[in-house]
Amino acid sequence: MTSLVELIAKKRDGYEHKEGEIRRLIGALTAGDLADYQMTAWLMASFLRGLSDAETNELTDAMLRSGDVLDLSSVPGVKVDKHSTGGVGDKVSLCLAPMVAACGVPVPMVSGRGLGHTGGTLDKLEAIPGFRVDLSTDAFVAAVRDIGVSMIGQTAQIAPADKKIYALRDVTATVECIPLIVASILSKKLAEGIDALVLDVKVGRGAFMKDADRARELAEALVRVGSRAGKQVVALLTDMSAPLGLTIGNALETREAIEVLHGKGPDDLVACTLALGAEMLVLGGKARDAAHGEELLREGVASGRAAAKMRALIQAHHGDPRVVDEPDRLPRAPVTLDVSAERAGWVTGVDPLELGLSAVALGAGRTRADQVVDHDVGLELLVRCGDKVKKGTPLLRIHARSRAAAKEIEPRVRAAFTLADTSFPSPPLILGRIDAASLSG
């Protein structure tokens, strides 16, 4: 039989795997017969050489079947989840899930941690005192059945191969690979037992897909592979040329997501949440079309049902539900430092990549797979693209563990802002929509 090392070399040399070879690699990884450094070598070979559709399908299925596929048949209705490919300041899941559940669509969500320069939903949820993302699969199913929503991390039973590979990709520069992204996302989502999936594929400097053509390629691959698995899948392409919302960092972003549940929050965050949520309500059979879906979501917020659903979600996960009405119960960094404009002008650029990396440097993200994040630290935007500022106007507030840490990062965050003598229009938030019908057409 061909050895595992020979299979790694085969992909390194640019050959396509035969049927069963990727399944063998994944099986060896989960059994402990393939070392992490060997899987890293295969991931880099796949990153550089690419994977065919057949290889991507086999990788997705192998990671999916490395654990259990949850049975949500006891939950009535169409089960719909949402996934984002990752962006700076993207806290949409935290407000979206309870909003959609409040409209009657069950939302089983298996989320991830921070990846590279982008934050992770689990890290943001864990900023809530006591919140546990490690519920058992039985508790997860019960929460979805009883309150309509649950948000957990991967357990030992849910796509365990992906959990190992996800952590390796984060710290080995193999994140931005379309087949690996497709297999990672869909293996987790299909293991949830969902019926439908809405995808937020980010485009721009703060996204992993910085080029619009590459982002569309990823969206199409996700819709294609997900549809072949028998699920309803819709993907929205959304702009990530600037941070989403006004905050970057775990507790800061959680606080901002809670504001949305009370009818507040930045316009772009609200718009992105409504667009994705409306698609979920259409797939879930609760809305006639996207416009009707947005109307239902706004009604759920105005009535208080969305905030109530968030309290129930936090309670089910052993967290402190009082944060929904008292967000000051969320942790705060002990030191803040405002960074001011050195000249007057129009804000024409806010670099999300630089700010995302700056937040990681403060401790809000990871540079090693075993690193613990600091939930308290982060960045708070005080101006947006299109604003006119004077010299000395505060642009951003650093939330840091120490003044030394804040001062160290100050030059980098100031350089993330571009000021010009004239203003420029910002790109639209929603850049495109892809479903199975548009692919077949």
Q: What are the pLDDT digits (tens) for 183-229?
A: 999 998 898 889 999 999 999 999 888 899 999 999 999 999 899 88
Compute the average pLDDT of residues 399-427: 95
Compute the average pLDDT of residues 414-432: 94
pLDDT digits (tens, 9 = 90+) for 84-126: 988 999 999 999 999 999 999 999 998 888 767 888 899 999 9
Compute the average pLDDT of residues 8-20: 97
3-class state of residue 17 by DSSP: coil
Half-sphere exposure of 51 (CA within 13 A, CB side): 29
Cα angle for residues 109, 29, 39 (degrees, 5° grid)? 95
Residue 53's pLDDT band (cuts 50, 70, 90) = confident
pLDDT of residue 199: 97
pLDDT of residue 129: 97
Residue 380 has pLDDT above 70, yes or no: yes
Radius of gyration of the chain from its Cα atoms, rounded to whole angstroms:
21
pLDDT digits (tens, 9 = 90+) for 116-152: 788 889 999 999 999 999 999 899 999 999 999 999 9
pTM of the predicted model as reported, rounded to 2 decimal places: 0.90
Instruction: Return residue ranges of the chain for CATH 1.20.970.10.
Output: 4-50
pLDDT of residue 163: 85
> How much of the chain, in percent, has pLDDT values that exceed 70?
99
Q: Closest Cα to residue 247, out of 149, 127, 136, 421? A: 127
Best CATH choice for the domain 80-327+430-440 from the list 3.40.50.720, 2.60.40.1730, 3.40.50.620, 3.40.1030.10 = 3.40.1030.10
Instruction: Return residue ranges of the chain for CATH 3.40.1030.10.
Output: 80-327+430-440
Residue 156 has pLDDT above 80, yes or no: no
Q: What is the CATH number of domain 332-420?
A: 3.90.1170.30
Q: Rounded distance, CA 332 to CA 287, Å?
A: 39
pLDDT digits (tens, 9 = 90+) for 242-286: 999 999 999 999 999 999 999 999 999 999 999 999 999 999 999
pLDDT of residue 228: 87
Residue identified by tokens 């592979």 is 225
Cα angle for residues 426, 428, 431 (degrees, 5° grid)? 140
Strands, E assignment, 140-231: 149-152, 196-203
Q: Rounded distance, CA 274 to CA 302, Å?
A: 14
List residues with catalytic annotation.
83, 162, 169, 184, 188
Q: What secondary structure, in 3-state letters, does 181-204 show?
A: HHHHHHHHHHHCCCCEEEEEEEEC
Residue 166 has pLDDT above 90, yes or no: no
Residue 441 has pLDDT above 70, yes or no: no
Q: Provide the token pair at 296.
A: 């239902």
Residue 155's pLDDT band (cuts 50, 70, 90) = confident
pLDDT of residue 167: 84
Compute the average pLDDT of residues 45-56: 94
Give the single-character DSSP code of 425: P
pLDDT of residue 353: 95
Question: If you average pLDDT over every residue of the chain, what do you get?
Answer: 94
Q: What is the CATH number of domain 4-50?
A: 1.20.970.10
3-class state of residue 336 by DSSP: strand
Compute the average pLDDT of residues 382-393: 96
Residue 369's pLDDT band (cuts 50, 70, 90) = low
